[in-house]
Amino acid sequence: MKVEDFKDPYLGTSWRDLGARVLSSGNRVAVHLGYPAAGLQSLLGAELAAFLGVPAIELDLRFAPAEKFAFNRVRNVVAVASGKGGVGKSTTAVNLALALDREGARVGLLDADIYGPSQGMMLGVPQDRRPELRDGQTISPIKAHGLKTMSMSYMVTDRTPMVWRGPMASSALQQMLMQTDWGELDYLVVDMPPGTGDIQLTLSQRVPVSGAVIVTTPQDIALLDARKGIEMFNKVNIPVLGIVENMSFYRCPNCGHEAHLFGEGGGARVAGELGVPLLAALPLDLAIREQADGGNPTVAADPDGDIAGIYRNAARHLAARLWGGLQASAPVISMSDE
């Protein structure tokens, strides 16, 4: 067995076929993957040692992003969407963005919900902070928790309603998307408004969206709307990377009993119908809401905790699917001094 024959834990395909770059010397192995996976270093080291039948492997896991760009210097645009509001889409978007950052990628977060922006509060950005405008048109993103971010909430106060028609909202999105100096990013996570309206169409027409993540809850009505969102992305040829199911279950803090308050297995059924993975099933947990409302989302507040681990696993999985689609035909480069 060779290192290149090891099957990627998310894609089920050998690193050889995926085009991973492998460098080996004795029990020291460096693997360059096309998705960020810093949190897998120890686990993959142990699994790789077992695969090769050796006592231990000193694994150096590195992220080697592709040189293909969606627009400007942004490699991948990932839309986080839902068919309806109230399913935890914005909380999912910010935590997935933070998870990608913690796994070793350069990440931006665009709040595309023009009418109801919430990322400013979730990231703990002061209400009076405004982005800088350079040369009359270039916007400097606001950095928060390691992310480059832009949101309509940075332009107005939390009490200012956006009484705009669709074309005005679409124009605002285009300005935030194209005039923000994102710099070089591996992933731009876009927190979409709920539904299937103007903003979704504008984004799909303005930049090549690499893929979408659909957020839902187990309730039948939420799943019905999630299917509509999936169909919308299919119509504009944007691949769906997977499903995130929020409020999947409630675990009693006293006895540990799990109760499925809003139904059971709905997200998995939709994922099965679509042929994509269920990226995450997140519990109904007070801490998730409190941390987001307090400006310190779960992955930032407790990056090594159990719930952050679910977000980080989902982030690695969606990034791996992007890599699998983009890099499956890349050549394998292997070097060894043995």
As for how many domains the chain has, the answer is 2
**What is the model's pLDDT at position 160?**
62
Q: Hey, how many other C-beta atoms are within 10 angstroms of the C-beta on 146?
A: 12
Pairing label, strands 107-111, 147-151 = parallel
Q: Are residues 15 and 157 in the same domain?
A: no
Q: Are residues 140 and 37 in the same domain?
A: no
- Round to whole Å and give the CA distance between 312 and 38: 10
Closest C-alpha among 154, 84, 161 to residue 119 = 154
Residue 337 lies in a domain: no
The H-assigned helical ranges of 71-197 are 89-102, 119-122, 166-179
**What is the model's pLDDT at position 36?**
98
pLDDT at 331 over 50: no
Residues 204-227 have pLDDT tens digits of 888 999 999 999 988 888 888 888
pLDDT at 288 over 50: yes
Q: Are residues 84 and 224 in the same domain?
A: yes
178 burial class (0-12, 13-18, 19+ CB within 10 angstroms)? middle
Mean pLDDT value of segment 131-147: 93
User: Contact 322/148 with Cβ under 8 angstroms?
Assistant: no
Mean pLDDT value of segment 175-192: 95
Residues 18-63 have pLDDT tens digits of 999 999 888 899 999 999 999 999 999 999 999 999 999 999 999 9
**What is the model's pLDDT at position 261?**
80
Q: Are residues 105 and 240 in the same domain?
A: yes
**What is the model's pLDDT at position 190?**
96
User: Contact 203/74 with Cβ under 8 angstroms?
Assistant: no
**What is the model's pLDDT at position 337?**
38
Which of these three, 38, 64, 90, is where a domain ends? 64
- Of 72-81, 90-99, 296-305, 323-332, the one with minimum mean pLDDT is 323-332
pLDDT at 285 over 80: yes
Which of these three, 21, 41, 64, is where a domain ends? 64
**What is the model's pLDDT at position 263?**
79
User: pTM of the entire structure?
Assistant: 0.91
Q: Are residues 28 and 128 in the same domain?
A: no
Q: Are residues 51 and 91 in the same domain?
A: no
Q: Which domain holds residue 189?
A: 74-326
Which of 116 and 292 is assigned the larger pLDDT? 292
Q: Are residues 193 and 47 in the same domain?
A: no
CATH code of 60's domain: 3.30.300.150
SS3 call for 28 = strand
Which of these three, 45, 64, 83, is where a domain ends? 64
pLDDT band at 147 (very low <50, low <70, confident <90, very high): very high
